[in-house]
Amino acid sequence: MLDGKRILLCMGGGIAAYKCLELIRRLKERGAAVRPILTGAAQHFVTPLSVGAITGERVFTDLFDLTAEHDIGHIRLSREADLVVVAPATADLMAKMAHGFADDLASTALLATDKPVLMAPAMNPRMWVHPATRRNVAQLRADGIVMVGPNAGAMAERDEFGEGRMAEPMEILAAIEAHFAVAAAPLLKGRRILVTSGPTHEPIDPVRYIANRSSGKQGHAIAAAARAAGAEVVLVSGPVEVADPRGVRVVRVESARAMMAAVEENLPVDAAVFAAAVADWRVADAAEQKIKKDAGGAPALHLVENPDILATVSRHHTLRPRLVVGFAAETETVVAHAQAKRARKGCDWIVANDVSPATGIMGGDSNTVHLVTAAGVEDWPSATKGEVARHLVARIAAELSGGAA
């Protein structure tokens, strides 16, 4: 997909710049040519020598370079690329882009380009939520800039935690591949896809709840991949810390019953992918006030079964999607349990994975899945969740267009 593609990589000044060395390597592995522009601040974190060694290209740093500018180099750089990637996109660089400043090579090239721009923001959490940054983000998105991240996590600064970490190299790579996939062939254009994602929280009292360890990364990646393939996508999401996929309508819910209602409200669709890890049970009578410890010991919780969203939609008489895909998160005999679940629920496909703690899949960035269909079982190789999502979406597109499952 990236073979022969030309990427102009504008690197801003932040500690996350070191991640770009891995991003460049991954792009090169896939056949892309990467031309780097380093801002003055970026050179405090990575050197032109290291970037040039990995890209195999000249590193551009100076707007007034006599050699590069004899033929208006900043215009040539911005126009010869197939895609411009800004990573890390610092608050300063984003502000320049939002307001049309052009006082160095990177900002000038960005103002002069007529090509699509993908941006990976990276900054301190308080900078990310500052009203000025929020205004700039809104303006950039209105201008058609696509963003990947930022993610939540620990910062370089001591004891700082929150949203502001630059997306990981494989996430940025997935967004780049998605861009070119859409440009090549919008596989799901004209289709409507529903995806569920994340956990549900079932209240015990106003403070406590029953939940699971689902991060929502896989479900959100599927929604993003379906949108990138041209579909109209509705994402029904439980409580997660993953950023909303661009261009996707997100319906946020807390409980399984709320998720069930949101799913039914958004039917009909051509395909539904139930990636959410819905709690099987809830407390029959959640306490209205916080339950206190007392000499009587732990309270007895009477659990009742939650609605079965996958089975309900699979057996819907009038609004059943043409393709219903469920997920099976197992810790033993994964394929056998998935095959039984497919038969029991009445869905078309099951995507099964082993979520035992040793795998690191639950909450991690990679996945190893088995696709269970009427035709049999496919064992897919380990891949990032973005790659799994794109593969699954390609299979969904083939099925909806009449291809083999």
309 is in an annotated binding site: yes
Per DSSP, the three-state class of 42 is: helix
Give the total residue count for the chain. Answer: 405
- Pairing status of strand 323-330 against strand 349-354: parallel
Four-CA torsion 280, 285, 288, 292, nearest 10 degrees: -90
DSSP lists the bridge partners of residue 35 as 8
Burial class (CB in 10 A: 0-12, 13-18, 19+), 144: exposed
Four-CA torsion 243, 245, 246, 247, nearest 10 degrees: -140
96 is in an annotated binding site: no
How many helices (DSSP H) and strands (DSSP E) are in the chain?
Answer: 13, 21
Instruction: Give the residue among 169, 171, 165, 86 at the shortest CA–CA distance from 128.
Output: 165
Measure the CA–CA gap between 194 and 180, rounded to whole angstroms. Answer: 23
Catalytic, out of 136, 151, 212, 306: 212
Q: Is 266 a catalytic residue?
A: no
Token readout for 192 is 């409507």
- Pairing status of strand 117-121 against strand 249-252: unpaired
65 is in an annotated binding site: no
H helices present in 100-251, as ranges: 105-112, 125-129, 131-142, 169-184, 217-228
Neighbours of 114 (CB within 10 A): 8
Measure the CA–CA gap between 257 and 269, rounded to whole angstroms. Answer: 20
63 is in an annotated binding site: no
Neighbours of 33 (CB within 10 A): 19
Measure the CA–CA gap between 186 and 394, rounded to whole angstroms. Answer: 10
Instruction: Give the residue among 227, 215, 222, 244 at the shortest CA–CA distance from 360.
Output: 215
280 is in an annotated binding site: yes
Measure the CA–CA gap between 5 and 28, rounded to whole angstroms. Answer: 10
Known binding-site positions: 280, 290, 307-310, 327, 341, 345
Known binding-site positions for CTP: 280, 290, 307-310, 327, 341, 345
Residues labelled as active-site residues? 212
